[in-house]
Chains A and B, each alone.
Chain A
Amino acid sequence: MSRITALAYRIFLQIARDRRTLVLIFLVPMLVMGLLTWLLRSEKQPFRAAVIVPDKGGAMMGDLLRELLVQNARVKIIAGITEPGINEALEDGRIQAAIVLRGADLEELKTGKRAELKVVLEGSDPMSSREFLQQLQRLQKPLLDTMRGLLSLSDENAQMLAPPELNLVFLYGGKDFGETDYFAPPVICFVAFFFVFIITAVSFLRERAQGTMERLLASPLSQFEIILGYLSGLLLFALAQTAVILFFVFYLLKIHYLGSIASVLVVEFIVVLGASNMGIFFSSFAKNEFQVAQFIPLVVLPQVLLSGMLWSLETMPKALQYIAYALPLTYANLALRNLMIKGFSLAQVLPELLALLAFALLMTAGSILTIRKFGAIN
């Protein structure tokens, strides 16, 4: 019995003495639960759509549709967009979908002609596209019912009034793009980021713990050379890992993707660059493997929740969006989704690449500064 208490007491002492662990044990769950609740409870940003009615006769049905969308679906109607301007508005994010209503002239409808409802979707987020389409389907019946009332047709004639013909157009992605296609890009870069971060942090820590860091610091190696050496050693494995993941995802899981694998590798390369330097930098602040393990929830969880991996940035509350744009994986996800779902070229994702590069440089600077200062346990 006393032998067991001796062990328990020792563990108690060790954890109680490790102030950081103590703080994190209580802080991390609160942080995670807090973030999650904030995300889930906050009002989702509404879906932005434009309803365009090119011909005069359909104005009435157009207004009706707008009203129904605003009242019954979580949709915000964006005005001032014309049919030729749809693609531009979709691309710059003013709207996520445009509905073009044609042949909705009352007189013509009475004769049994069907109106045409063309829906142009941005499409890179299959989930919000699908949600919007479902809501639109659900509005068909109330729309028809109201129209029937307006036309004041006899019951017999009312049956003549057919639902409008739905015609879907996707700017990006397409009907066959599903959730997995949406989640694949962030998962690819998350896996690489996470492993490289952990591997670097732990191997750097080990270097200090076994005393070899002392020898490296006493050698002619500069901080920069140490970092470059580490990077080159790790990069081989990181890129091989990425290649295997990509092969698995594209050829065995048959994930849809556009663009080239080479550009995906370029993004991964920059992500790995940042992650490994972050590992070196952060390991300076850890005394043991235990403390490295604590970085995992701190580094990983906010990025899983906020980087647009699970919830698209657009639906997040504004305040969280600001936090999201301070996280490196947010840019990696944006870049990879643009490459793989929208089929963008590397030049088109340059802003995201620059943000990732800036993060990598920041972490490099941090690790160079800290290697000497904390590299040896003074």
Chain B
Amino acid sequence: MADEAIVRLEGLKKRFGKIEALKGIDLEIPAGITYGLIGPNGSGKTTLIRILAGISRPSSGAAFVLGRPMPDRSVAASIGYMTQAEALYKDLTVEENLRFFGRIYGVSGALLRQRVDELLELVGLSDRRRSLVDEVSGGMRRRASLACALVHRPRLLFLDEPTAGVDPELRIQFWNYFKRLTTGGVSILVSTHHLDEAGRCDRLGLLREGELLKEGVPEELRREAQAETLEAAFLYFARRRSP
């Protein structure tokens, strides 16, 4: 069961009034890997992740997470979700935010303290732990936001552009950490614009205008497109799809 698909989409559609944000997506994501969701602005990445996180309902089709059709709160505890905009309480300190999100997932006491220390260290905010979120820099907020998604040690991570606005050095650190997490058995679905980061994913899905253009291992995608870079490959598949 463990290496069953951790996420499965069947003809997933989502519409907002006239806009069809997802136009029927079929996809299976195996467990234990970092899956990269690549696509330009408005391609539907956030929409897809919100459905997987159980916040938004599919208009038609189905999304399964850990074998359960979403939305389903019983899998919520296994999911860590980092929203695209940093969702934090601005009038609480960095540490208080972390503790709050830990506690609503049922982490408490010494374990919570230990995890909070660990994560603050990881995102380099140990010395700013007592600063109000309102008073730290934009990049620091993103780092705090990531830490909040990790505090309950989820098996499954949905990260919506986790590295947007984060400086290059820390970005490399983040990706190293993601790698460590996946070797530890965590599955990650991450959306990004940075195609250089996409190369570090185990598999990629290319999303455009609500459609999954292409899906596979980065190396294979590049080979199939006969492209030097992932950028070129993405353009190749985008052009091939349009009439």
**Which A residues fall within an 8 A CB radius of B?**
210-222, 376, 378
Contact = CB atoms under 8 A, between A and B. Distances in A.
Contacts of B81: 214-215, 218
Interface string B2-28: 000000000000001000000000000
Contacts of B85: 211
A214 B83 contact: yes
B86 interface: yes
Nearest to B54: A218
A215 B87 contact: yes
Given A217-B54, A218-B54, A219-B104, A212 B73 contact: no
B223 interface: no
Contacts of B73: 220, 222
B105 A210 contact: no
Contacts of B50: 214, 376
A221 B55 contact: no
14 contacts: A210-B87, A210-B88, A211-B85, A214-B81, A214-B87, A215-B83, A215-B148, A218-B76, A218-B79, A218-B81, A219-B105, A220-B77, A222-B73, A378-B16
Contacts of A376: 50, 55-56
A218 B154 CA distance: 12
Interface of B: 16, 50, 53-56, 73, 76-77, 79, 81, 83, 85-90, 101, 104-106, 148
Most buried by B among A216, A219, A221: A219
B104 A221 contact: yes
Given A210-B87, A215-B148, A378 B56 contact: yes
Contacts of B83: 211, 214-215
B88 A219 contact: no
Contacts of B89: 210, 212
A378 B90 CA distance: 22
B77 A211 contact: no
A6 B88 CA distance: 33
Given A218-B81, A219-B76, A376-B55, 9 more contacts: A212-B88, A213-B87, A214-B55, A214-B87, A215-B83, A218-B53, A220-B73, A220-B105, A376-B56
Q: Which of B16, B53, B87, B89: most chain A Cβ within 10 A?
A: B87
A215 B55 CA distance: 9
Contacts, number: 50
Contacts of B104: 216, 219-221
Task: Kindly list the 9 A-B residue pairs having the minimum CB-CB distance in the complex, ordered from nearest.
Answer: A211-B87, A218-B53, A220-B76, A218-B81, A212-B87, A220-B77, A217-B55, A376-B55, A215-B87
A371 B148 CA distance: 22
A230 to B, nearest CB: 13
Contacts of B88: 210, 212
A55 B17 CA distance: 81
Nearest to B76: A220
B162 to A, nearest CB: 14
A108 to B, nearest CB: 80
B99 to A, nearest CB: 14
B55 A218 contact: yes
Contacts of A210: 87-90
Contacts of A212: 87-89
Contacts of B105: 219-220
